[in-house]
Structures are given as C-alpha cells and as structure tokens.
Amino acid sequence: MKYATITVLVLILLHCTSVVPEKGANAGHYLQNRQPLLPKPYLKLPLGNIKPSGWLDEQLRRMAGGLTGNLDSIYPEVVGPRNGWLGGDGDGWERGPYWIDGLLPLAYILNDERLKKKALQWVEWTLTHQREDGYLGPIPFDDQPEPEPGLQRGMREDWWPKMVMLKVLQQYYSATGDARVIDCLTKYFHYQLQELPERPLDFLTLWANRRGGDNLMVVYWLYNITGDDFLLDLGELIQQQTFPWAAVFTNPENDRDPVQPWHYSQIKRYPFDTTEINALTVSKLAGMHTVNFAQSLKQPVVYYQRSHDVRDVEAVHKALRDVRKYHGQPQGMYGGDEPLHGNHPVQGIEFCSIAEEMFSLETNLSITGDLSFADQIERIAYNALPTQADDRFLNRQYFQAANQVVLNPGMDHTFERQNHLGTDFVYGVLTGYPCCTCNMHQSWPKFVQNLFYATPDRGVAALLYAPAEAELLVGDDTRLRVVEETGYPFRETIVFTFHPDKQDRFTFHLRIPAWCTSPEIRINGEVWNETPGNGVSMINRTWQEGDQVQLKLPMELKTSTWYQFAQTVERGPLVYALKIDGERKPGFVSERFREFTEVYPLDPWNYALVARDLEDLNQNVEVQEKPWDGSYPWNLQTAPVQIRMRGVRLPEWTDPKELPAVWGRYRGENPSIESITLVPYGCTTLRITEFPVCRLE
C-alpha cells in the first residue's frame, strides 16, 4: 500500500468512527485514536477475544506446560519471590517484567486460572505499591547493594524496565477493564512529565532512550482513553529524548566507508550529537544492537500518529530493506550476535530480536494498515520463531542461524563467545544470555492477539492466518463469532465461517499476501471476482448464520538469493531447509549456564543445488504433502510438507563457515548426485538453508 494512500485512508476513517474508551468487554466499536492522533485503520480486540485452535492452541499449551508457565520454579533466583517487582531485594530490572509480558497474555488467551494467578501477583504488587509521587516499580535501595552473580539488583529507577511493565498493565486492562490501571498510569505519566527534564530517559542506562517507542506507545494508548492533554506534552518529551531512529534509518548507506563507525554504545546522552548520529547506519557492521533495532522498528511509526509525517513510516521501510540487504537471512531475520553483524548464513540471530521485531511489526500493522508488515510477521513467525525453542518449550537457543549443522561449544564464530563460553547456539535454559529466557514468551500469544482486528467501518479483518476464532461486535451491534479453519502455512486453503447473532451488513477485510499471484475467494461456494486493492479484499455484504468465505492462496515454488549468491528454496510463506537428522548429547561448561543439549548431524549436509534444476522448479522439484491431522507440526517427524529435489555432494565442503563459490562449474570427477529432502525451516534443528549452486554440464 502506498504511504499517501494510507494517510488518505485514515483521514477518511476519522469521519466514520467515534472514539470510545476501551473496556474489557467493550466490543462495540473499539478503541480508536483521538485527535490530533491519526486514526487507525485496524483496531485491536480485547485480550482473550481471539482464541487459537488446532496446532496453534497446542503450541500455546506447550508453552503453558513449559518455561512460560513454570519459569518461577525453573529460574527462581531471578523471577522468584526475591524479585524487586514483587517487593523483594533481588533482581529488579527487566527480566521479571519480560516474563509477565508473555505469561499474562498467554493466561488470558487460554483462560488458565493457574497462569492468571502467577501473572496477577506481579500486577497486584505494581498497582498497590505505587508511591505517592507516581513512581512505580521496585523500591530503590538507600545504598547500592553488593552485586550478586546472575542478578540485576541495581538501577531500580531506570526508566527502561518500567516500559515493559507498562505493556503488561496495558494488556491486563484490555483483558479485565480494571480501572486501577488507568489511575496508576495517569499518576506515573505525571511523574514522568515532572522528572524527565532533569532525569532524561538515559540518566542511568542507554536502554530507555533506545526503546522509548514502547513508552510512547502506552502514553498514546492512555490518551485515547482519558483525553488528558498532558499526555501529548509527555509524548513530545519522550520523542525528544528517544534515540532519533528515523534520522538514523534514512542516513545514506556507508558499509564500505573505511572510517570506523562511532561506537554505538557510547552514543548515550540526550541531547544527541548530530555528528555521531550521522555516522550510524543500518548498513554498518557491529554498529547497532540487534534487540534495540528490533524495538526501534515501531518507534517512528508510533510517533507518526502524532507527526502525520509519512516520512516516519518510510524510514522504517528503508530500515527493513537495508537490514535485509546487509544482514538478512531467509527466515525473515538478520545476522546479529548482539550487534548487527552481516549476512553470512552462520551468523547468529538472538531470540529476543525475534520476539521484539514481531511485536514492532504488529504495532505498525495496526497503525498504518500497510500489509507488507503482515507479510514480514508471517515470514518470521512461520520460519524463525518455531525452531528457536524445543518442542516442549523447555529449552531455547540464544542464537539460531540459517545454516547450522552442529550445535556445541566448539562453534567459535560469535561475537559473544568470550562472554558465553560457546553456549550461544546450544539448547538450554540459561545458555548464552538469560534475557531471552524471559523475553521469548511474548511471541506466540501476541501473534494470536493480532490474527483478527475490528475495523472503523464496524467490520472485521483477518490479516494474519492461522487456525483460530474471534468474537467481536460488528455492524449494528451484532455479536459475531468468526471461525477460521486452515492448515496454513502448510496448506493453501483458509475457510472462515460466520456466526452472527442476527443478520447484518458489514465488511470483511482479507489480506492477500504479496507472495501470492493468483488468489481465489469463494463465498458460500460461489467465486467472488472483485479485484483486491492494495493487498486487501474487502467483502461488504449482508451476513447470516453459517456463511462461509474460502480463501485459496496457491503456493508457487521460487528461489531467493542471499550471501554470495547462495540460493534458498521457498514456497508460499515458508522457507525450506535441508532435512538433517541429529543426535542429542548433554553438555556442560559452567554452573552459570547449567546443563544444555548439544546436537550433532547424523546425515550428510554438504550439498549444492543443481543450477539447471533451479531454472524450472515446477519441472524438477516435487512437493509432497504428507497426511496431517492439524496437530503440532514443528519437527522433522511431524512436518506436514516436504520437497524432493537433486543435490550434489561437495566433499571439499567441510566447514559450514566457508560457503563454497556458487554458480561455479563442478570440477570434481563423477559428481555424486543424490535426491535430497527439504522441509520447512521451522521444523528443523540442524539445517542448510542457503545452498551453493553447481553447474554440471
């Protein structure tokens, strides 16, 4: 969708919707932006109104039985009763709120009383222990405590971890309508307005000025409920003190500039130095912290609601193009073992980056209606996200990579090796760095929460696809339950069944992914021939009980080009990788990282693809859909689809870090041509995703 079109669309919508305060059950016409904020084209439903089904429900229940539902007993030294967010003298920084930011939405989506009880301990303490001046969070120490290994006890007045708790309180209010949240946040934002001029976002650490978009997002949300003008003033102050991401994103690319970039971590203080800001770009190696970058992708778009300047949105699109060009990997993420670090396929991708980029893109989608954000969300969710935690959601990788053929402490190519003793890629609870142990939980629940939206024209939108159902008010206060049945992303067909409590007219918005060239829509079996506009089909009709919309998205085989012209096979929203069975062994290097699991290949992995075969994939590649009942799909045994094609063994390729020259003529004698199997990337643990290519003739 063109940016100018977005602006026109939202301005038109302003005249056809009223601003209604959000409450837990206010499903009529949902929380919309107040003037002078630009109205949103897609409106969030209350937490709990969207329920997953099929494999997605099973995914969330595995989380409930795994780390998400039990982190307090698995990692009690940090998220146990000593935590500062529970009034204790222990850890008082980001990790506790990180966990609740995923646990709370999971609890309300599943309506799980056990999980609610755990999450509400943190909410209740925060709401009932706010200081008279508005400060919320862990009680500051009179004297800085002695350090304890593994705990972040100090920095209790840092603005950053409070931003995570703001998101928790926002979600809690969405689920319950508890008015105490509005009172608490109003007091806290008055406190911020008073304190920030003297103690700016970075007065203790750089994190808050890098992640100020999270703060600004909740300020605008509260403004839409209360209409308090001081919140707009606070928003401007936060914007001024937040790292100028839009300016950085639009700097000219300078990856080949021989001058050393400014050390990113030293660009701290507000007001920021223009020379330093101008030296930083997405294109630079080792210049930008990957999780900060993931969170920054929402910041200019959040402020766009106030600025009305479409260049804020354009800056984010440029950042996404540049990060793909200079650091990108096929699963939708980017090489970054703490800093952005290039696009070699063995370069690590931090789990926190996945969680935060998904949330940023989901935020942007609702604000702009730009469906390219939805395409990117699905690419990450259906490729990168499933593989980085094990099937039981009890262990995770700190880093994953597009090409990883062994997982052990011998992997010595990461930036953090000296700090983490080689544990970045193995599966464990505390391997690498424990931020991801706490922050990974938000990914799947918030994905569920963005499957459906209300629209300002009193309709309903499905912009991300997965088995689920939603309840909301549409049209003339009609209560609608819409059920989505699908094997997507492994199958091409999605069926929506409508259950309104009375016959009514409203619009159903359907996204057509950019990768699909020939979609087909049927309404009650009849072909619907209207052409989608800007990637969305809008079906306006009178609906009644049992009406069905069938969306078919034919998935075509294609290749994409990556590091040194390596090739990746794709089909629809899925990226495919070589199927490599693995042997798991226990590992240990230090009590700090606990025990972990190493994985070694049982199958050969050093294959190149055949150049001639890639010229006509439909002729030379066989897609095999396996019998599948819709249950958990994310491993080699249960993968619902696979691809068979030819590969050439390269005996000289023994080190995955040394990708052979691609598109070169095969120089060995009697090439070993074999049939190889590719499976969806998200189903793999070991894999080759970016392949060299050989010419045999």
Residue-wise pLDDT for 208-236, tens only, equals: 999 999 999 999 999 999 999 999 999 99
Q: What is the pTM of this model?
A: 0.95
CB 524 within 8 A of CB 548: yes
* Residue range 566-621, pLDDT digits in tens: 999 999 999 999 999 999 999 999 999 999 999 999 999 999 999 999 999 999 99
Confidence of residue 265 (pLDDT cuts 50, 70, 90): low
Question: Is residue 350 pLDDT above 70, yes or no?
Answer: yes
Taking alpha carbons only, the member of 282, 355, 328 closest to residue 561 is: 328
pLDDT tens, 269-303?
788 888 888 888 999 888 789 999 999 999 999 99
Task: Name the residue range of residue 670's domain.
Answer: 557-695
Is residue 10 predicted with pLDDT exceeding 80? no
Average pLDDT, rounded, for the chain = 92
249 vs 268, residue with greater confidence: 249
pLDDT of residue 11: 32
Q: What percent of the chain has pLDDT over 70?
A: 92
Query: In terms of C-beta density within 10 A (0-12 exposed, 13-18 middle, 19 or more buried), how is residue 260 classed?
Result: exposed
Note whether residue 683 is domain-resident: yes
Retrieve residue 628's tokens.
């599948």
Average pLDDT over residues 34-48: 98
For 506-526, letters b (16+ CB in 10 Å) and e give bbbbbbbbebbeebebebeee
* CA dist., res. 500 & res. 482, Å (int): 8
How confident is the model over 126-145, as a mean pLDDT? Answer: 96
Kindly report which listed range (27-36, 163-172, 516-525) carries the lowest average pLDDT score: 27-36
- How confident is the model over 370-422, as pLDDT tens digits? 999 999 999 999 999 999 999 999 999 999 999 999 999 987 666 776 789 99
Which are the contacts of 306, defined by CB distance < 8 A and separation ≥ 6? 36, 37, 38, 220, 232, 235, 236, 239
DSSP, collapsed to helix, strand or coil, labels residue 551 as strand
Which H or E run includes 677?
strand 673-680
Q: Into how many domains does the chain fold?
A: 1
Note whether residue 586 is domain-resident. yes
**Residue 429 structure tokens:** 């609870």
Does residue 493 sit within a domain? no
Nearest to 401 by CA among 351, 454, 469: 351
Cα separations (Å) of 496 from 44, 413, 456, 489? 19, 47, 21, 15
Helices then strands, counting H and E runs in the chain, come out as: 24, 25
Taking residues 357-365, report their average pLDDT.
98
Q: In 10 A of CB 252, how many CB atoms?
A: 8
d(CA 421, CA 398): 13
- Look at residue 263 in the predicted model and tell me its pLDDT: 52
d(CA 426, CA 408): 6
Match 């003339």 to its residue by tokens.
476
Joined tokens for residue 496: 């929506």
Confidence grade of residue 668 (pLDDT, cut at 50, 70, 90): low
| Residue 554: pLDDT band with limits 50, 70, 90 | very high
Inside any domain, residue 201: no
Distance of CA 274 to the CA centre of its chain: 31
Integer Cα distance of 76 and 529 in angstroms: 57
In a domain, 567, yes or no: yes
Q: Is residue 584 part of a domain?
A: yes
Q: What is the pLDDT of residue 667?
A: 64
Residue with tokens 């094997």: 487
In a domain, 469, yes or no: no
Residues recorded for the chain: 697
Closest CA to 643 of 625, 661, 667: 625
Which amino acid, residue 384?
A
252 vs 268, residue with greater confidence:
252
Task: Say yes or no to pLDDT of 12 above 60.
Answer: no
CA 596 to chain centroid, in Å, comes to 25
Q: Reply yes or no on whether the pLDDT at 662 is more than 70.
A: no
Cβ neighbours of 182 (radius 10 Å): 17
Note whether residue 79 is domain-resident.
no
Determine the Cα–Cα distance for residues 262 and 468; give it in Å rounded to an integer.
47
Residue 144: band (very low, low, confident or very high) from pLDDT cuts 50, 70, 90? confident
Give whole-number Cα distances, 58 to 319, 321, 633, in Å.
35, 34, 10
Give the per-residue pLDDT at 416: 72
Given a contact cutoff of 8 angstroms between Cβ atoms, the answer to whether 75 and 440 are in contact is no
